[in-house]
Amino acid sequence: MKFLRTGKNPLEGVGGFMADCRMTDMIKTWAEVAPRLIAVAAGRSAADMVIINAKWVNVHSREVLEHSSIAIAEGRFAYCGAHRDSLIGPDTTVIDAKGRFAIPGLCDAHMHIESGMLTVTQFSRAVIPHGTTTMFVDPHEIANVMGLEGVRQMHDEALAQPVNVYVQMPSCAPSAPGLETTGSEILPADVVEAMAWPNIIGLGEMMNFPGVINADEKMLAIIAATQNAGKTVGGHYASPDLTDFHAYAAGGPADDHEGTTEADAIMRVRQGMRAMLRLGSAWYDVETQITAITEKGLDSRNFVLCTDDCHSGTLVNDGHMNRVVRHAIDCGADPLVALQMATINTASHFGLERELGSIAPGRRADVILTSDLRTLPIEAVIARGQVIAEQGEILCDEPDYKWPESATNSVHMKRDLSAADFDIAAPKGKNAVTARVIGVVENQAPTKALTAKLPVEDELVVGDLAQDVCQIALVERHRETGEVVNAFVSGFGYNKPCAVASTVAHDSHHMIVIGTNKADMAQAANRLQEVQGGVVVISEGKELALVKLPIGGLMSDAPAIEVAAAADKMVAAMAECGCTLNNAYMQHSLLGLVVIPELRISDKGLIDVRSFEKTELFVEDAI
Per-residue pLDDT, averaged over 52-59, amounts to 98
**Structure confidence at residue 11 (pLDDT):** 34
- Longest Cα separation, the chain: 92
Instruction: Give the pairing type, strands 469-475 and 534-539.
Output: unpaired
**Structure confidence at residue 446 (pLDDT):** 87
Helices 120-127 and 560-576 meet at what angle, rounded to 10? 90
Helices 148-159 and 120-127 meet at what angle, rounded to 10? 40
CATH class of the domain whose range is 105-356: alpha beta
H or E element in which residue 188 lies? helix 188-194
Q: Is the pLDDT of residue 20 over 70?
A: no
Strand locations in 138-182, DSSP E? 164-169
Give 47's pLDDT tier (boundaries 50, 70, 90).
very high
H or E element in which residue 59 lies? none
Instruction: Tell me which residue of 190, 184, 150, 185 sits closest to 478, measured CA to CA.
Output: 184
Give 588's pLDDT tier (boundaries 50, 70, 90).
very high
Phi, psi of 217 (to 5 degrees): -60, -40
Per-residue pLDDT, averaged over 478-497, amounts to 97
Task: Kindly list the distances between the CA atom of residue 583 and the CA atoms of 77, 227, 357, 621, in Å, as whole numbers in the listed order.
Answer: 40, 37, 31, 36
Between 11-20, 130-139, 383-392, 587-596, the lowest mean confidence (pLDDT) is in 11-20
**Structure confidence at residue 93 (pLDDT):** 98
H or E element in which residue 294 lies? helix 291-294
Per-residue pLDDT, averaged over 418-444, amounts to 94
Cα–Cα distance measured from residue 268 to residue 389, given in angstroms and rounded to the nearest whole number: 36
By the 8 A CB rule, do 54 and 102 touch?
A: yes
Q: Is the pLDDT of residue 307 over 70?
A: yes
Answer with the residue of higher pLDDT: 313 or 434.
434
Cα–Cα distance measured from residue 315 to residue 560, given in angstroms and rounded to the nearest whole number: 8
Q: Is the pLDDT of residue 19 over 70?
A: no
Cα–Cα distance measured from residue 225 to residue 223, given in angstroms and rounded to the nearest whole number: 5
Cα–Cα distance measured from residue 248 to residue 210, given in angstroms and rounded to the nearest whole number: 8
By the 8 A CB rule, do 134 and 348 touch?
A: no
Strand order in the sheet with 469-475: 460-461, 447-457, 432-440, 484-490, 469-475, 511-515, 499-502, 534-539, 542-548
**Structure confidence at residue 281 (pLDDT):** 84
Q: Is the pLDDT of residue 80 over 60?
A: yes
- b/e for 12-51, b at 16 or more Cβ within 10 A? ebbeebebebebeeebeebeebbebbbebbeeebbbbbbb
H or E element in which residue 76 lies? strand 76-82
Would you call the peptide bond into 174 cis, given omega within 30 degrees of 0 as the criterion? Answer: yes
**Structure confidence at residue 356 (pLDDT):** 97
Task: Kindly list the distances between the CA atom of residue 119 and the CA atoms of 131, 153, 155, 540, 559, in Å, as whole numbers in the listed order.
Answer: 19, 10, 11, 33, 9
Give 368's pLDDT tier (boundaries 50, 70, 90).
very high
First-last CA distance in the chain: 85
Instruction: Give the pairing type, strands 367-370 and 101-104.
Output: antiparallel
Cα–Cα distance measured from residue 437 to residue 583, given in angstroms and rounded to the nearest whole number: 20
**Structure confidence at residue 24 (pLDDT):** 39
Please return the burial class of 623, using the count of CB atoms within 10 Å of its CB with bins 0-12, 13-18 and 19+. middle
Q: Is the pLDDT of residue 9 over 70?
A: no
The 3-state DSSP class for residue 536 equals: strand
Task: Kindly list the distances between the CA atom of residue 432 and the CA atoms of 427, 428, 459, 622, 623, in Å, as whole numbers in the listed order.
Answer: 9, 11, 10, 10, 8
**Structure confidence at residue 25 (pLDDT):** 47
In the chain, where the domains are located = 105-356, 407-622
Work out the angle at residue 373's Cα, subtended by the Cα atoms of residues 372 and 376, and round it to the nearest 5 degrees: 70
pLDDT over 70 for what percent of the chain? Answer: 95
Tell me what the pLDDT averaged over the chain comes to: 93
Please return the burial class of 429, using the count of CB atoms within 10 Å of its CB with bins 0-12, 13-18 and 19+. exposed
**Structure confidence at residue 282 (pLDDT):** 79
Q: Is the pLDDT of residue 7 over 90?
A: no
pLDDT over 90 for what percent of the chain? Answer: 88
Answer with the residue of higher pLDDT: 475 or 21.
475
Instruction: Give the pairing type, strands 63-73 and 49-58.
Output: antiparallel
**Structure confidence at residue 444 (pLDDT):** 80
Instruction: Tell me which residue of 150, 51, 592 sits closest to 410, measured CA to CA.
Output: 150
**Structure confidence at residue 622 (pLDDT):** 55
Task: Kindly list the distances between the CA atom of residue 70 and the CA atoms of 49, 210, 335, 397, 616, in Å, as whole numbers in the listed order.
Answer: 8, 49, 21, 25, 64
